[in-house]
Amino acid sequence: MLRHDGVIVPRLWVESSRGKTICDPAKAQPGRHGNRVRCVLMQAILFDWDGTIVDSMPAVLETEAAICRHFNLPFDESIFRRTFSPNWRRMCHSLGIPEDRNEEASQIWAATFHSDQMRSFPGIEDALARLAAAGFTLGLVTSSHRVEVEPQLARLGLDELITVRVYGDDTAAGKPDPRPLRLALELAEVAQPEDAFYVGDALDDMGMAAAAHVRGIGIVSMLATADDLLAAGAVESAGSVVEWADRFLAESTEG
């Protein structure tokens, strides 16, 4: 953070042909010709839920394994990585489940996956608190349904930190369609999509971010490597939300 004219303001990212840096808003020159420098105030940081905020991917894998056993479909960790999508219909199709039996698969999910037993990754609450204290609006864009996640936000101490929320039942289309993320930008009152980050661990998370022209931050997990996430549209990657927040906040206070 910087003090400018007596007011604490976030630093600005600068994009140019030389890459991304941070600049002092008092010295920034938006629209300068030649190297096409453009200063962007990062106003909102939006997050995926499963595998990003909460450590739920092992449980998701076990649940998908149960579904595939029910339908007598092949399944292992490599199939999980290849077919996983936050979009339920998309994932069922990739696994080979007939569309007219998606509801049957959904019932197995409801009986097997226990969201109330999931724990947030270590250090998440503190990392989000520091981002919020730095002046960023924090939000959630998840394919999970409101009735499932809302109680967990309170249970995990994140209810007051994550103020913008878009759930899987809030839009007609799901990830990687950009509509859920665009709705979150509207709720966060972000005028320009490049003024926000979306942080997630799935390839479809990065695809959604790219389609919405939001800067995607890929979180490495059992779903994808850093290279996978970058190829899917991420602008950078990290081993966890906490690692990224530490790095981002350190860069924001340099100088």
pLDDT by position in tens, the chain (length 255): 333 333 333 434 433 322 333 343 333 334 332 333 334 456 899 999 999 999 999 999 999 999 999 999 999 999 998 998 888 888 999 999 999 999 999 999 989 988 888 999 999 999 999 999 999 999 999 998 899 899 999 999 999 999 999 999 899 888 999 999 999 999 999 989 999 999 999 999 999 999 999 999 999 998 999 999 999 999 999 999 999 999 999 987 764
C-alpha–C-alpha distance, residues 79 and 97, integer Å:
14
Provide the CATH number for the domain around residue 179.
3.40.50.1000
222 and 141 in one domain?
yes
Query: Cα torsion at 222, 129, 246, 141 (round to 10°)?
Result: 40
The answer to whether residues 50 and 60 touch, using CB atoms and an 8 Å cutoff, is yes
Q: Which of 5, 24, 48, 100 is catalytic?
A: 48
215 and 168 in one domain?
yes
Say what the pLDDT of residue 218 is: 97
134 and 12 in one domain?
no
Domain boundary among 100, 116, 132: 116
217 and 125 in one domain?
yes
246 and 157 in one domain?
yes
209 and 96 in one domain?
no
Neighbours of 80 (CB within 10 A): 20
Domain boundary among 116, 132, 151: 116
134 and 95 in one domain?
no
29 and 145 in one domain?
no
Query: Is 227 part of the annotated catalytic residue set?
Result: no
219 and 150 in one domain?
yes
Instruction: State the total domains in the chain.
Output: 3
Parallel, antiparallel, or unpaired: how do β-strands 19-23 and 12-16 relate? Answer: antiparallel
Among residues 112, 106, 117, which one has the least CA distance to residue 143? 106
C-alpha–C-alpha distance, residues 215 and 218, integer Å:
10
Say what the pLDDT of residue 42 is: 60
Domain containing 86: what range? 57-116
248 and 141 in one domain?
yes
19 and 62 in one domain?
no
Residue for token pair 């002092």: 24
160 and 81 in one domain?
no
Full-model pTM: 0.79
Residue type, 224: A
Residue for token pair 């350190």: 250
Domain boundary among 76, 99, 116: 116
